[in-house]
Structure 1
């Protein structure tokens, strides 16, 4: 067949449609383009929107933990009853969410946690080198900081007892350092005296502009010959004789293969094809504080309040919470306002400009591992989605691995843990 992408004959043999202009989709698109494919990215939103804009900004190269852990179920009632807690489930959505929630809790066994951690480690540890390869040294220096991260505990008389996270860090040789209240206050003058213990992980870092980082990737994609179309994909179907078609709100596109990288919306495109993958949206919130009176030298992840704080080019971002309510329910503004309460509790003297509140959708699988690779028995259909809380971190390695599989190259690491066939 003659491969086409947005009506143009491919200059390089095979052609590909990538559905989704977030960090993950654009990473895959760049990597496919560098392997000679003619690539068109379809997304109704501008690059750098959605979760690729509103995430915490943290790049966790030296973190490899799934979110479902042993013993977590015992904490759920307390979380749900706490107005400032990290979890809420809308009652009307609970029946629909129950199958996913059950699989999520079942994934919290020691055996599964260690398995998932090994797979996450392969993705996450490549984030800084991967982003440098994708966007180049100048943009890397402008947008990314590999300056560490501190986990923070409050109100402890002694250091937190060793747990499964410490076992996993030891297994991978991840360097960390326990710090006490005096060191915490050296890093963060003005922090509340309730902050008693911290864990410094120097191998982590952050981006000062998550949306800008994604836009830089989009610019690189277009500069290298890719095409970006601002269209909403309505339907996918296999073509007679091979290849795929995508119907959008404006036109139809055809290509030899299609990559679904639409984040939390991915399964809405796959379901009409008879493909069921357990993907749920963990709705997350942030509050952006312009002109804050403090600037953090390193991001903070509160292990007591379950929220993060990260200084960015546009101000101070406070992010976190998980709301299980589906894709269509309106935001619960109180969730974002609670984050501001937490930030001011931790930094009592914090002053700032008018808060900007945001809600977005984390695309999450029950085992915290993304889907990367072919999907089902449909030749030419691929997925790259389900990165949960770590899409910005895992995007470079995910795009590289997917492109290697499509190009029949030897993969840089084992693709089996990310296979859609596990479901």
Structure 2
């Protein structure tokens, strides 16, 4: 099978990239070892996060670091045997999270964040996925006056970004979500983001749109990509796929291709879990709810109320460890009336992260026709369509809507 471009990886980033290239006249084959939307794109909190203008940085406060060092927190957990392997990357992340590094990352990511909702809209409508997307935002809730006051100050500090939000007093937050425990004293309702009740289903809907428009999806091991006689080739269940260009959009598996090719990109994995619960006491959750102190999100999904955890630093292939999920579950049971677990076992996902908090989007400098689009960390769902657009503009010679320099793989050389 010959085509113009092979896109490796059928998560939200790969599917969106395939659609954006297809819209610009490229004949594209999308390849993955599993069906679209069944990997990391399946298990997130379902936020198209227009309000997250400040990247997730490494904490710098000594007291907070000491608490994390005890390894008893619900928002971050680490495996002792993994720390020696992750130490160099964590130090790089810590350095980049200083004031100047965080400011640089914030400005670099802002053009992508600003267009994340509108780029999803351009795909979700023709894909017929509007029923999975809500535009009522999400709510950050608080139990103590000190935490609530700090959250309000933090929101005011974001004034330059012109975000839309409401500060909710105790009566207002309970009116929006009657199931919340009575000790919730207030919240912040972020209005710009949209929310998705089935992120994996949305990705599959986008993939179906790609196929409907004439694209091809095939099952195969994308990590077996090779270059032969100036072309890129990969085996699939439908035979050999050959193209002049290839895009690595494999998220956490991207390292399996770029590392043997000699690219020193410091990609790391932040693991995370989710579990679905039945509603209890006749309650129906209307908005995703973030417990910023507990470090988890509760979100209404088609499969029940989904609890998504924060960060676990552990070897990518380590088995499921329920410690963090159980800690978050204990907090969540005191926040909202959760019923029994719905899933037979927790879902484990792997977020692909770079220490400077920016993805890699652009050409592989030493290999003609090879392109990168990975490392979106906590915002793969948010940034899939907009990063796909940026890469497609670069590949087809259009003027990029923003300067792609901050996302270049060359920044790590």
Matches within 5 A, 1:245-394: 245-247=233-235, 251-292=239-280, 293-347=282-336, 349-352=337-340, 354-356=342-344, 357-394=346-383
Are residues 158 and 383 of structure 1, via their aligned partners in 2, closer, same or farther at CA, if it must alter by over 3 Å?
Answer: closer
* Partner of residue 3, structure 1: none
CA deviation after TM superposition for structure 1 residue 33, in Å: 1.1
CA deviation after TM superposition for structure 1 residue 387, in Å: 0.6
CA deviation after TM superposition for structure 1 residue 74, in Å: 4.3
Matches within 5 A, 1:59-78: 59-68=48-57, 71-72=60-61, 74-78=63-67
Are residues 289 and 179 of structure 1, via their aligned partners in 2, closer, same or farther at CA, if it must alter by over 3 Å?
Answer: same
Q: Deviations over 1:108-143 (max 9, x none)?
A: 122222221223222222222212212325724211
Which of 40, 55, 59 aligns to 1:51? It is 40
Which of 215, 221, 238 aligns to 1:226? It is 215
Tell me, yes or no, if structure 1 residue 104 matches structure 2 residue 100: no
What is the SS of the residue equivalent to 1:91? coil
In 1: Cα distance, 2:62 partner to 2:34 partner: 37
CA deviation after TM superposition for structure 1 residue 145, in Å: 0.8
* Partner of residue 4, structure 1: none
Q: Deviations over 1:75-128 (max 9, x none)?
A: 233134354521112111112111111111111122222221223222222222
In 1: Cα distance, 2:271 partner to 2:147 partner: 34
Tell me, yes or no, if structure 1 residue 133 matches structure 2 residue 112: no
Unpaired runs of at least 5, structure 1: 1-6
Unpaired runs of at least 5, structure 2: none
Please say if residues 304 and 342 of structure 2, whose CA atoms lie closer than 8 Å, have aligned partners that are also in contact.
no
* Partner of residue 20, structure 1: 9
What is the SS of the residue equivalent to 2:187? strand
CA deviation after TM superposition for structure 1 residue 265, in Å: 0.8
Stretch deviating more after TM superposition (15-24 or 267-276): 267-276
In 2: Cα distance, 1:170 partner to 1:69 partner: 23
* Partner of residue 159, structure 2: 170
Please say if residues 73 and 105 of structure 1, whose CA atoms lie closer than 8 Å, have aligned partners that are also in contact.
no
In 2: Cα distance, 1:251 partner to 1:327 partner: 30
What is the SS of the residue equivalent to 1:283? strand
CA deviation after TM superposition for structure 1 residue 165, in Å: 5.0
In 1: Cα distance, 2:385 partner to 2:252 partner: 19
Q: How many residues align structurally?
A: 410
Tell me, yes or no, if structure 1 residue 202 matches structure 2 residue 200: no
Tell me, yes or no, if structure 1 residue 239 matches structure 2 residue 225: no
* Structure 1 runs (4+) greater than 3 angstroms displaced: 162-168, 247-252, 290-293, 352-356
In 1: Cα distance, 2:362 partner to 2:17 partner: 11
CA deviation after TM superposition for structure 1 residue 337, in Å: 2.9
In 1: Cα distance, 2:124 partner to 2:188 partner: 31
In 1: Cα distance, 2:200 partner to 2:73 partner: 27
Stretch deviating more after TM superposition (331-340 or 374-383): 331-340
Give the TM-score of the pair, scaled to structure 2.
0.93
In 2: Cα distance, 1:69 partner to 1:163 partner: 21
* Partner of residue 30, structure 2: 41
Stretch deviating more after TM superposition (214-223 or 150-159): 150-159
In 2: Cα distance, 1:381 partner to 1:249 partner: 22
CA deviation after TM superposition for structure 1 residue 180, in Å: 2.1
CA deviation after TM superposition for structure 1 residue 218, in Å: 0.5
Are residues 249 and 97 of structure 1, via their aligned partners in 2, closer, same or farther at CA, if it must alter by over 3 Å?
Answer: farther
